[in-house]
Amino acid sequence: MPFKAYPTEKRAQKRVRPHRWEVRKSTHRKEIDEALVGNHRRDSALRNGPLQDHLTPHLAKNPFSCKSPPVDTQLLVADFEDWRETVTEAVALLEQGEVVALPTETVYGLAACAFNAEAVAKIFEVKERPSFDPLIVHIGRKSDLEKVAVVPEEIRELVDELIEAHWPGALTLVLPKHEDIPDLVTSGLPTVAVRLSAHEIMCEVAKVHGPIAAPSANRYGRISPTSAQAVMDELGGRIPLIIDGGACRDGLESTIIAPTMTEKGPVLRLLRPGPVSKEDLRLIAKVERVRNKPGATVEAPGQRASHYAPATPLMIVTKPGEFVPEEGKKYGLLTYRGSGGACLIDLTDWTATQTLSPGKGKLSEAAVRLFYCLRQLDAAGLDLIVAEPVANTGVGVAIMDRLKRAAAAHS
């Protein structure tokens, strides 16, 4: 239990700084570009080493536990009117090689300069993430794609169409990586996952600072955070800054695809379902779901069967007969609508219930609420979470994907 000794809740104070927002000189575009080039040079010797080379000695021995001294975590609330000031604060820390948590429209991300291998190593440390799991790189403008990826000529038109239709937004593209991206970011893969977020704060930080690596801001294998408080619960005491940009609009991690050209024409290989649905993608090209067969080489670690899991075991129950409650056990229900249809609400005396889409039963609402509801149930001291399935269509495919992985984590 690496963080048990740390009084994170107390240390992670909610401090909203008074106004002292002069725009630092170093945030000017040209100076940032120069600083990044400098980073590249300083970095060049480090760039292609394994994760262990970038870690402090105790972490090199055990890279998947975070034992760095606790830090005060500042939670800065982005004002509706002047959120740009939070951008200045985040950029300043990123320039110092720090990690900061930022809102996106999908889930909160934990950001570091994408070209600075030592800063990226901090992401792995803070998240306790194994080095074989590559990160997503966020850019702030479409033209920055060429700084992080190389688009092969044969799929250029396809990529342009995808970008035109879905950027900024919840679509991540896996493309051959630019040589300036450290191997640490891509876990040694020759490809890089890139996205342009639709959230003003994430987008502006990536625009002003330059490309940033940003996986979801949770500890490895756990539920992605969809609010600043959820980030605080996950990473408070480990990172210096969380920007609170409100609840995430989509609530589920981005759709990840690898655009490819085959003999039969363009194919979008779907690596992770998300808010941009198969139906949306089919308007552009054929979609092929990449499934992780047991024993097969994992193309992307995020495809592992168990992931995105609450600490409490979870079971998906389609029909009442599939679940027999035991005496003295505490059960929680994750229901879709809370009543009607195949609802399991009357099956037992639930210790806690959470409804994904109260009232009408809308998949988009269920997607936004999924991780919040799972966190609530996880905190209720249950023996088991029983989850009702949702319709396997549109964003329902992504919801079922996350539920199945949560169930697999304890099977």
Contacts to ligand TXA by CB under 6 A:
104, 106-107, 109, 133-136, 172, 174, 186, 189, 191-193, 195, 214-216, 253-254, 256, 271, 300-302
Shortest Cβ 322–Mg ion spacing (Å): 29
Q: Helix (H, G, I), strand (E, B), or coil: what is residue 381?
A: coil
Shortest Cβ 235–ligand TXA spacing (Å): 13
Nearer to Mg ion (CB atom), residue 47 or residue 219:
219
> Which of ligand TXA, Mg ion, none is residue 214 near (CB under 5 to 8 Å by kind)?
ligand TXA
Secondary structure letter of residue 322 according to DSSP: G
112 near 119, Cβ under 8 Å? yes
102 vs 260: CA distance, rounded Å: 31
Residue with tokens 């994904």: 356
Shortest Cβ 129–ligand TXA spacing (Å): 8
Nearer to ligand TXA (CB atom), residue 276 or residue 344:
276
Q: In what helix (H) or strand (E) does residue 183 lie, and over which residues does it extend?
A: helix 183-186
Shortest Cβ 15–ligand TXA spacing (Å): 24
| Nearest Cα to Cα of residue 387 among 404, 375, 372 | 404
Q: Please identify the residue of the shown chain whose CB is closest to the bound ligand TXA.
A: 302
85 near 200, Cβ under 8 Å? no
Secondary structure letter of residue 216 according to DSSP: B
Does 255 engage in binding with Mg ion (CB under 5 A)? no
What would the two tokens of residue 247 be? 């609840």
The window from 212-220, 233-241, 311-319, 358-366 that contacts Mg ion (CB under 5 A) reads: 212-220
CA distances from 247 to 107, 154, 167 (A): 9, 39, 20
Residue with tokens 């998240």: 127
Nearer to ligand TXA (CB atom), residue 76 or residue 185:
185
Shortest Cβ 302–Mg ion spacing (Å): 7
Nearer to ligand TXA (CB atom), residue 76 or residue 384:
76
> Which of Mg ion, ligand TXA, none is residue 114 near (CB under 5 to 8 Å by kind)?
none
Nearer to Mg ion (CB atom), residue 14 or residue 304:
304
Shortest Cβ 340–ligand TXA spacing (Å): 32
Shortest Cβ 215–Mg ion spacing (Å): 5
> Which of ligand TXA, Mg ion, none is residue 300 near (CB under 5 to 8 Å by kind)?
ligand TXA
Burial class (CB in 10 A: 0-12, 13-18, 19+), 383: middle
Shortest Cβ 19–ligand TXA spacing (Å): 29
What would the two tokens of residue 335 be? 């229901």
Does 216 engage in binding with Mg ion (CB under 5 A)? yes
The window from 215-223, 241-249, 277-285, 328-336 that contacts Mg ion (CB under 5 A) reads: 215-223
> Which of ligand TXA, Mg ion, none is residue 63 near (CB under 5 to 8 Å by kind)?
none
Nearer to ligand TXA (CB atom), residue 54 or residue 129:
129
Nearer to ligand TXA (CB atom), residue 104 or residue 355:
104
E strand segments, 56-115: 74-77, 100-102, 109-113
Burial class (CB in 10 A: 0-12, 13-18, 19+), 333: buried
Task: List the 331-335 sheet strands across, edge first.
Answer: 314-316, 384-387, 331-335, 352-355
Nearer to ligand TXA (CB atom), residue 267 or residue 384:
267
Task: Write the DSSP assignment of 108-170 as a string of letters.
Answer: -EEEEETT-HHHHHHHHHHHT--TTSPPEEE-SSGGGHHHHB---GGGHHHHHHHHHHHSSSS
* Positions in the binding site for Mg ion (CB under 5 A): 216
